[in-house]
A and B are shown apart, each in its own frame.
Chain A
Amino acid sequence: QSALTQPASVSGSPGQSITISCTGTSNDIGGYNYVSWFQQHPGKAPKLMIYDVSNRPSGVSDRFSGSKSGYTASLTISGLQAEDEADYFCISFTSSVTWVFGGGTKLTVL
């Protein structure tokens, strides 16, 4: 199972919106609505931001939203803030009854 494809980096200014894409195949993203997104700050454990494509866990800001179209899932962060600067990883359930992560995207807040 190959890793999902994410852009290596994205950037935005405070207050702006950015979108991170995560592209897979019919065997993962395209076949299931089990896509999650994690935020990871340097030296810290990952934190769940979105699950099941578009659901936010309690305590996560509503500035974070998720969606999916075909084989591509997306994470949108609106009203960008300095503390959003981190690495973001998508993950999807697969037809092999396993999970596969994306390669990760480094978000820089300019």
Chain B
Amino acid sequence: EVQLVESGGGLVKPGGSLRLSCAVSGFTFSNALMTWVRQAPGKGLEWVGRIKSKTNGGTTDYAAPVKGRFTISRDDSKNTLYLQMNSLKSEDTAVYYCATGMRSDNTWGQGTLVTVSS
């Protein structure tokens, strides 16, 4: 069974940092393109960024609102995806989902809530 389980969410002050993790099982993680998507309370979905498999270069791409503040990485030996979030702002408050690619064979975790507030 394919499973993606996010962890690491919580309450953080503006300007602070947080690292989210996404533990994956049920498919070959090292071959997978992985994505982070967020959803502010009561709002729509927002694509955050993605990381390709190492076979495809392992490159990352980010949405403009998070570029330079967020970093996506992966540890294929641990089947785990990461999202390092720095210089957090109140507008980063959201449920953060990890997912595979946005095309076929798409699957999502259940999300982890990040609240940025003083």
Q: Which residues of A contact B (CB under 8 A)?
A: 1, 3, 34, 36, 38, 40, 45-48, 51-52, 55, 57, 87, 89, 91, 93, 97-104
Contacts and interface: CB of A to CB of B under 8 A. Distances in A.
A34 B102 CA distance: 9
Contacts of B61: 97-98
Contacts of A40: 45
Interface in B26-84: 35, 37, 44-47, 49-50, 61-64
Given A46-B37, A91-B47, A101-B47, 19 more contacts: A1-B64, A34-B102, A36-B102, A36-B103, A45-B108, A48-B106, A51-B102, A51-B103, A51-B104, A51-B106, A52-B104, A55-B104, A87-B44, A91-B45, A93-B102, A98-B47, A100-B47, A101-B44, A101-B45
B90 interface: no
Given A34-B103, A51-B104, A98-B63, A45 B47 contact: no
A65 B15 CA distance: 44
B110 interface: yes
Interface of B: 35, 37, 44-47, 49-50, 61-64, 97, 102-106, 108-111
Contacts of A36: 102-103, 106
Central interface residue in B49, B102, B108, by most chain A CB within 10 Å: B102
Contacts of A87: 44
Contacts of B49: 98
19 contacts: A1-B64, A36-B102, A38-B45, A45-B108, A45-B110, A48-B104, A51-B103, A51-B106, A55-B104, A57-B105, A89-B44, A93-B102, A98-B49, A98-B61, A98-B64, A99-B50, A101-B37, A101-B45, A103-B44
Contacts of A1: 63-64
Central interface residue in B45, B47, B105, by most chain A CB within 10 Å: B45
A102 to B, nearest CB: 7
A3 B49 CA distance: 15
Nearest to A45: B108
B47 A99 contact: yes
